[in-house]
């Protein structure tokens, strides 16, 4: 039988305190002498400062796509019809169940979460009172770069829309709706533009956002040169001093450049444009809203260049 008073260092019997023979606890990292081991953020900062390439393992690590929410009945139905594989979650009012039977059945079959919620919940989820009773969480459509798009650009008549300085997502949505209606092949966005796929733009587009890809541009001069090499002609829109669009021959391969209502089209783009046009009116108001002007211009291009 062991003696609880035995002071042998290997004894661990009852009543024996371990404090006296335990090795001292190592100091906290903050108390250690010398430099600490660098973490990932430190390593990344060091590579950036030296201009090194990122670690290969970190390059190979897959990046999880970020989901976003769209709302509006037509917007959600169009997204489901066009790319059901992107759907991640559904919220809807009970009153919308009859209209969304197919989408609900898809969610059940594929074990995608859905919730029947109250109007106040949808307003919080969407940040809008104009949700129309439904909200989808889904993966965003990828933005292309111009080089990728031009590799598969259609031959013959083709209309692109360059939005220079336009920043309101509701204007983008209205433009997308008109672009889909009149057959615009893509919308070009400057690299500094804050516009992108969003719930507000999708709702106003009424499904048009699913049919008109967004292209994120690089340097303006490079984009102009690439488009010219592909046979496109830039046409800038101006408030005053341009040719009457209804009396102008619009090119079959056309890039229609639209500017912000306050600042207009950038001077570099105007200088690179072969044609400057305006929408004539009474003069009782200074100009049309950019989305309204876009609809007029796109309709005129389609009238001149057929429906192909």
Please report which confidence band the pLDDT of residue 141 belongs to, taking 50, 70 and 90 as the band edges.
Answer: confident
Please report which confidence band the pLDDT of residue 144 belongs to, taking 50, 70 and 90 as the band edges.
Answer: confident
- 151, 202: one domain: yes
291 domain-assigned? yes
Model confidence pLDDT, tens digit, residues 77-101:
999 999 999 999 999 999 999 999 9
Q: What is the mean pLDDT of the chain?
A: 84
What stretches of the chain adopt beta strand conformation (E)?
68-71, 87-92, 113-116, 134-138, 144-145, 158-164, 186-189, 214-216, 233-237, 243-244, 253-259, 275-278
pLDDT exceeds cutoff 60 at 60:
no
Mean pLDDT within 110-130: 94
CATH number where 287 lies: 3.40.1280.10
Residue ending a domain, choose from 92, 116, 138: 138
227 domain-assigned? yes
Residue ending a domain, choose from 77, 104, 138: 138
What residues does 260 pair with on adjacent strands? 264
What is d(CA 4, CA 102) in angstroms, rounded to the nearest whole number? 76
Helix (H, G, I), strand (E, B) or coil at 46: helix
Contact (Cβ atoms closer than 8 angstroms) between residue 91 and residue 114: yes
The reported pLDDT for the residue numbered 64 is 58
Residue ending a domain, choose from 120, 138, 156: 138
Model confidence pLDDT, tens digit, residues 250-276:
999 999 999 987 778 999 999 999 999
Helix (H, G, I), strand (E, B) or coil at 302: helix
- 154, 281: one domain: yes
Name the residue range of residue 77's domain: 68-138
Model confidence pLDDT, tens digit, residues 12-38:
444 444 444 455 555 554 444 555 555
Name the token pair of 251: 């090119």
Mean pLDDT within 131-158: 92
CATH number where 107 lies: 3.30.1330.30
- 265, 219: one domain: yes
- 232, 90: one domain: no
Contact (Cβ atoms closer than 8 angstroms) between residue 165 and residue 260: yes
31 domain-assigned? no
The reported pLDDT for the residue numbered 37 is 56
> Which residue from 215, 162, 165 is spatially nearest to 194, judged by alpha carbons?
165
Number of domains observed in the structure of the chain: 2
**pTM assigned to the model:** 0.76
């Amino acid at each position: 039988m062991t003696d609880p008073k035995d002071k042998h260092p290997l004894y661990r019997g009852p009543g024996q305190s371990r404090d006296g023979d335990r090795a001292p606890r190592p100091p906290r990292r903050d108390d250690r002498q010398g430099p600490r081991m660098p973490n990932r953020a430190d390593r990344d900062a060091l590579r950036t400062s030296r201009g090194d390439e990122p670690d290969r393992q970190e390059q190979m690590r897959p990046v999880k796509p970020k989901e976003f929410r769209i709302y509006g009945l037509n917007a959600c139905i169009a997204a489901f019809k066009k790319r059901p594989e992107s759907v991640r979650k559904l919220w809807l009012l009970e009153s919308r169940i009859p209209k969304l039977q197919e989408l609900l059945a898809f969610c059940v079959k594929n074990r995608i979460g859905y919730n029947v919620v109250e109007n106040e919940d949808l307003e919080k989820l969407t940040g809008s009172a104009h949700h129309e009773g439904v909200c989808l969480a889904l993966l965003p459509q990828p933005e292309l770069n111009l080089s990728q798009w031009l590799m598969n650009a259609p031959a013959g008549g083709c209309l692109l829309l360059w939005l220079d300085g336009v920043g309101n997502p509701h204007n983008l949505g209205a433009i997308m709706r008109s672009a889909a209606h009149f057959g615009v092949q893509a919308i070009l966005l400057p690299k500094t533009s804050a516009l992108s796929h969003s719930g507000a733009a999708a709702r106003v587009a009424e499904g048009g956002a699913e049919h008109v890809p967004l292209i994120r541009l690089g340097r303006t001069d490079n984009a102009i040169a690439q488009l010219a090499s592909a046979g496109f002609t830039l046409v800038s829109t101006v408030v005053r001093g341009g040719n009457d669009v209804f009396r102008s021959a619009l090119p079959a391969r056309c890039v229609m450049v639209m500017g912000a209502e306050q600042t207009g089209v950038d001077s570099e783009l105007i200088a690179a444009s072969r044609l400057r046009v305006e929408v004539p009116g009474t003069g009782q108001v200074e100009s049309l809203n950019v989305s309204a002007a876009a609809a007029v211009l796109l309709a005129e291009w389609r009238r001149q260049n057929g429906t192909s």
